[in-house]
Amino acid sequence: MRFFLLPLLATPALAALLSLPAPAGAQAATASSPGAKAPATQDPAIVPTDRLSEGWWAARHKQILAELAAHPDTQLLLIGDSITNNYDKADPPNQNFQPIWKQYYAPRKALNLGFSGDTTANVLWRLDHGEVAGLHPRLAILLIGTNNTYFGQTAEQTEEGIDAVIKDLEHRLPHTQILLMGLLPSALPSREANFDVNDYLSLHYAGGEDPLVSYIDVSAVFYAFGQLDTRLFYDPTLSPPRPALHPNTLGQRMMASAIEPAVARLMGDTPIKPSPAPLPLPEHP
């Protein structure tokens, strides 16, 4: 099993997901002349795709657009799927994430752009439809791609999707730094593809190849003695138990603490000190 923690100074980073269908691929246009090649299937990870048929998703998108108008001075964006969306939860003990948000991100005028179950295709659609319009943030933290591989997309497709999101952000927010996070470890069958994705991201973004992107992989936070520490995830405590995927209150706090030095450096402010006493590890039934 591979895992690693890249230096924080590399410079120039899903309960609902289990029931969502994979976005459909689009067919590339083909020539009508004789002898034209068969149509090629476009990577679904780069085809902007909405989920407006899901009421909660449409409502959240509408709410975010309203928040943009109310908070044009937003300085920090967190873009992703359920692991980011979870910061809206305040359900102790295992899903109490609001205190972490209030400690690390609210003071920085942050906006949560996490949607449970989203893939890179859904993020691209949201960017196309105004979710960063008019903003000039200092930093965007990006954690996306686990749902791509979960829904059966290959590591290569997922990598192309993440690249597309980065390019889109750089086009729309040319003065914003991006902290690209490696995919978090999990107990899903698709975890091996996620390792490959992280290898690719490290190779292409950890060495300052893109001056706007810093890459960090905090996978090591979730391991103990070389094994995934499932006590840092809330999925095994659900009924019925599910494979470890979403960090629980303690796991999310450890992740926020691990990326904090990089966040502070890229924001140009003082690092926030972690809580003085860690919470006890929960015991799974």
Residue 284: per-residue pLDDT: 55
pLDDT digits (tens, 9 = 90+) for 226-272: 999 999 999 999 999 999 999 999 999 999 999 999 999 999 999 99
> What is the pairing mode between strands 213-216 and 177-181?
parallel
Higher pLDDT, 212 or 276: 212
Q: Are 143 and 31 in contact (CB under 8 A)?
A: no
State the pLDDT confidence band at 282, using cuts at 50, 70 and 90.
low
| For residues 155-161, average pLDDT | 98
The pTM of the full predicted model, rounded to 2 decimals, is: 0.85
* 15 CA to centre of own chain: 14
pLDDT surpasses 50 at 28: no
Count of Cβ atoms closer than 10 Å to residue 97 Cβ: 24
**Cα–Cα distance measured from residue 58 to residue 54, given in angstroms and rounded to the nearest whole number:** 6
Residue 42: per-residue pLDDT: 86
Question: What is the phi/psi pair of residue 280, to 5°?
Answer: -70, 150
Percent of the chain at pLDDT above 70?
82
Whole-number average pLDDT of the chain: 87
Contacts of 193 (CB under 8 A, 6+ apart): 149, 154, 155, 158
Q: What is the DSSP letter of 269?
A: S
**Cα–Cα distance measured from residue 68 to residue 134, given in angstroms and rounded to the nearest whole number:** 8
pLDDT surpasses 50 at 23: no
Domain boundaries, the chain: 45-266
Count of Cβ atoms closer than 10 Å to residue 154 Cβ: 15
pLDDT surpasses 50 at 30: no
pLDDT surpasses 90 at 38: no
pLDDT surpasses 60 at 20: no
pLDDT surpasses 80 at 25: no
Which architecture characterizes domain 45-266 according to CATH? Answer: 3-Layer(aba) Sandwich (3.40)
Residue 56 backbone zone (phi > 0: left; psi -120 to 50: alpha; other: beta):
alpha
| For residues 70-81, average pLDDT | 97
Q: What is the DSSP letter of 229?
A: -
